């Protein structure tokens, strides 16, 4: 695994999380209303209270009937979810506390200066610790195998 690829993947973590939320809402929304637009606190009386309520997510049959655009969105959603899981699982491989903090700060998108202020070290030390961390992770065989699996999966167009 190339250190620059890993660094880019970690820095892309924030926008991928936001994109997963957006795609999830697009793909699994039914009837044009998202979960925030529903009114949960309104009591129903009479026959409406006894009628069955529809599910808030799409069934397998509905997912099979998606058009091409929605299928591409679903594939992209699954791809981003697997990349996010990969980035989050890498955090478990880090043993040194300062490296763990720097890794989580990288996932949050903080600058070297902000990381240094947070930890109490200079920008240059943050860069050095981050370089050591990235090189250590790139040499991990298990991590490389997982990355190659994710990288060479069939990607949506």
Is the pLDDT reported for residue 157 higher than 50?
no
Helix (H, G, I), strand (E, B) or coil at 56: coil
Long-range contacts of 83-89 (CB under 8 A, 24+ apart): 83/9, 83/12, 83/16, 83/150, 84/13, 84/16, 84/17, 84/20, 86/9, 86/146, 86/147, 86/150, 87/9, 87/10, 87/13, 89/146
Alpha helices in 3-57 (DSSP H): 3-11, 13-28, 47-50
Least confident of 10-19, 115-124, 144-153: 144-153
CB 100 within 8 A of CB 91: yes
Provide, rounded to the nearest whole percent, the portion of the chain with pLDDT above 90: 40
Per-residue pLDDT band at 138 (split at 50, 70, 90)? confident
pTM score, two decimals? 0.69
Q: Can you give the pLDDT at residue 151?
A: 66
- Cα 103 versus chain centre, distance: 15
Beta partners for residue 30, in sequence order: 33
Handedness of CA 75, 76, 79, 84 (dihedral sign): negative
CA angle centred on 20, ends 15 and 21, rounded to 5°: 100
Secondary structure element (H or E) that encloses residue 126, with its range: helix 123-138
Average pLDDT, the chain: 80
Q: Can you give the pLDDT at residue 153?
A: 65
Beta partners for residue 33, in sequence order: 30
Report residue 76 as tokens: 């992209």
Q: Where are the domains of the chain?
A: 3-27+60-151
- Give the model confidence (pLDDT) of 45-87 as tens digits: 777 667 776 665 666 676 666 677 777 888 899 999 999 998 9
In the block, residue with structure tokens 């980035």: 87
């Amino acid at each position: 695994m190339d250190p620059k690829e890993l660094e880019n993947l970690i820095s892309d973590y924030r926008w991928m999380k936001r994109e997963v939320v957006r795609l999830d809402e697009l793909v699994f929304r039914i009837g044009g209303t998202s979960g925030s637009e529903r009114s949960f606190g309104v009591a129903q009386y009479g026959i409406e209270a006894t009628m069955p309520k529809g599910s808030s997510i799409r069934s397998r049959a509905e997912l099979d009937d998606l058009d091409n655009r929605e299928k591409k969105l679903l594939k992209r959603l699954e791809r981003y979810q697997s990349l996010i899981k990969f980035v989050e699982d890498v955090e478990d491989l880090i043993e040194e506390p300062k490296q763990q903090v720097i890794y989580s700060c990288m996932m949050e998108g903080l600058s070297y200066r902000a990381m240094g202020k947070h930890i109490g070290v200079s920008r240059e030390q943050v860069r050095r610790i981050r370089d050591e961390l990235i090189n250590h992770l790139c040499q991990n065989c298990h991590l490389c195998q997982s990355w190659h699996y994710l990288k060479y999966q069939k990607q949506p167009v």
